[in-house]
Amino acid sequence: MAGKKGRSGRKARTDGIKMRAVALYIPMLEYEDLEGGTRFRPDQWFMQFKRVFGSRWQEEVRNLMINRIKMYQINNMWQCDCNFTIKRYHFHSDFQCKKCGMWKSQHARRVMGDLE
């Protein structure tokens, strides 16, 4: 056996990204094992998800969340150009970007009373 005692086998990240554990609550089914003890098993959909993606299931969950947020931003938010390089998204209730001062629309600018 190679490696340090007590290590889980994960390699240290060299790209500068820090990973932290967060809780992902999965519904569990309770059942009795052969000895009469109570055991818990994840729902069938989660077991199938892990079976399909194997050791990459966490990466797949992250990718699904990233893609879902991108689609939500495109469909439900408005975009401004801060410093002409960073594109930021704002909720429809935000009429003006606090960083670059861009307005959501000319109508919002007229209603809020800042049109000169």
58 vs 71: CA distance, rounded Å = 20
User: What rounded mean pLDDT belongs to the chain?
Assistant: 79
Instruction: Quote the pLDDT of residue 22.
Output: 80
Residue 103 belongs to a domain: yes
Q: Are 70 and 60 in contact (CB under 8 A)?
A: no
For residue 42, tell me if it sits in a domain.
Answer: yes
For residue 3, is it within any domain? no
Cα–Cα distance, 9 to 80 (Å, whole number): 44
Task: Tell me if 71 is assigned to some domain.
Answer: yes
Lowest mean pLDDT among 33-37, 81-85, 89-93, 109-113: 81-85
pLDDT value at residue 9: 66
Number of domains the chain contains? 1
pLDDT of 107 strictly over 90: no
Report the pLDDT value the prediction gives residue 3, as an integer from 0 to 100. Answer: 57
Q: Which residue range forms the structural domain that includes residue 47?
A: 31-112
Is 63 a domain residue? yes
Quote the pLDDT of residue 74.
Answer: 78
Residue 90 CA to residue 108 CA, distance in Å, equals: 14
| Beta-ladder partners of 80 | 88
Is residue 17 domain-resident?
A: no
Per-residue pLDDT tens over the stretch 50-101: 999 998 999 999 999 999 988 887 787 777 777 555 567 776 677 777 777 7
Predicted model pTM? 0.61
